[in-house]
Structure 1
Amino acid sequence: MRKVIMWDMVSVDGLFEAPGHDIDWFVFEDELAAYIGETQLEAGTLLFGRVTYEMMAAYWPSAEGDIATFMNGIEKFVFSKTLGSADWNNTTLVAGDAIAEVERLKRRDGGAIFIFGSADFVATLTAEGLVDEYRLGINPVLLGKGTPLFQNVPERTELELTHVRPLKSGVVILHYQPAKA
């Protein structure tokens, strides 16, 4: 069974975007690029909610470099009941039952399934026990205002720390898995 892995950059105060969907505060440097390069080798599929998809699809098709090549080439699914089309290369629009589709994708062969951003979608999958791992890049900044990453998680979810990787920039990468009951 394929793993669903959520990966997000967050501020120390738990926000994944500043007001206006601003993500310019992310610390991006060589060590983080190396981590992304290593971990993207695990991925076979990306999942997005509508808002994150629209931001990604507006940026990556014209970007260059290894990450852009990865983002533009990998299989992608966007989950939305309001989006009319998904024109970014290798993207499938899913307007129906998101839970059933993610369960189907998990049963397929292939690499891990990654979710970037998409806080409400992650909360939905968390409630159904479909997220196998949470990866957070904690950035050395307090934003004060913005969008909390885990604002809509319906109930307490105990997590086990499985990996810590501090970077010279002050970013700390944490991997968590849902705790076994």
Structure 2
Amino acid sequence: MRKVIMWDMVSVDGFFEAPGHDIDWFVFEDELAAYIGETQMEAGTLLFGRVTYEMMAAYWPSAEGDIATFMNGAEKFVFSKTLQSADWNNTTLISADAVAEVERLKQRAGGTIFVFGSADFAATLTARGLVDEYRLGINPVLLGKGTPLFQNIPERTKLDLTHIRPLKSGVVILHYQPARA
């Protein structure tokens, strides 16, 4: 079975975006790019909610470099009941039951499945026990307000820390897996 990994950059106070979908506070530098190259390029599938998809689709098609090549070439699914089309290369629009579709994708052959951003969509997957690993890049900033990464989580979920990687920029990357009962 394929793993679903949720990867997000987050502020120390738990926001993954500032008001207005602002993410210009993310610390992105060579060491983080290397980490992404080491850990995310094996992904076979990328999953997005509508807002994150629109931000990614507006940026990556004209970007250059290894990450852009990966993002533009990867199989992508956007989950939305309001989008009419998804025109970014290799993207499938899903307006039906997201949980059932992700369960089906986990059963298919292929590489790891990554969820980027997409807090509401990710909360749905978390609530249904479909996220196998959480990877968080904790950025050295307090935003004070914005969109919390974890919201609408129906119950306490214990996590086991499996990896820590501090970067020179002050970003600390944490890997967690849901605790086994």
Give the partner amino acid of 1:142. Answer: L
Work out whether 1:172 is the aligned partner of 2:178: no
Residue 144 of structure 1, CA deviation = 0.5
Tell me the equivalent position of 1:58. Answer: 58
- State the secondary structure of the residue aligned to 1:177: strand
Work out whether 1:68 is the aligned partner of 2:71: no
Distance (whole Å) between structure 1 residues aligned to residue 171 and residue 36 of structure 2? 13
What TM-score, normalized to structure 1?
A: 0.99
Identity %, equivalent residues? 90
Whether the aligned pair in 1 keeps the contact of 2:41 and 2:70 (CA below 8 Å) is no
Q: How does 1:14-163 map to 2 (within 5 A)?
A: 14-163=14-163
Distance (whole Å) between structure 1 residues aligned to residue 91 and residue 42 of structure 2? 19
Give the partner amino acid of 1:106. Answer: K
Distance (whole Å) between structure 1 residues aligned to residue 166 and residue 145 of structure 2? 25
- State the secondary structure of the residue aligned to 1:115: strand
Aligned residues: CA RMSD: 0.6
Residue 41 of structure 1, CA deviation = 2.7
Give the partner amino acid of 1:169. Answer: S
Give the partner amino acid of 1:62. Answer: S
Distance (whole Å) between structure 2 residues aligned to residue 113 and residue 28 of structure 1? 22
- State the secondary structure of the residue aligned to 1:105: helix
Residue 156 of structure 1, CA deviation = 0.7
**1:136-162 Cα deviation digits (max 9, x unpaired):** 000000000111000221111110000
Give the partner amino acid of 1:124. Answer: T
Give the number of equivalent residue pairs: 181
Distance (whole Å) between structure 2 residues aligned to residue 29 and residue 59 of structure 1? 17
**Unmatched tracts of structure 2, length 5 or more:** none
**Unmatched tracts of structure 1, length 5 or more:** none
Whether the aligned pair in 1 keeps the contact of 2:2 and 2:108 (CA below 8 Å) is yes
- State the secondary structure of the residue aligned to 2:145: coil
Tell me the equivalent position of 1:13. Answer: 13
Distance (whole Å) between structure 2 residues aligned to residue 50 and residue 157 of structure 1? 26
- State the secondary structure of the residue aligned to 1:89: coil
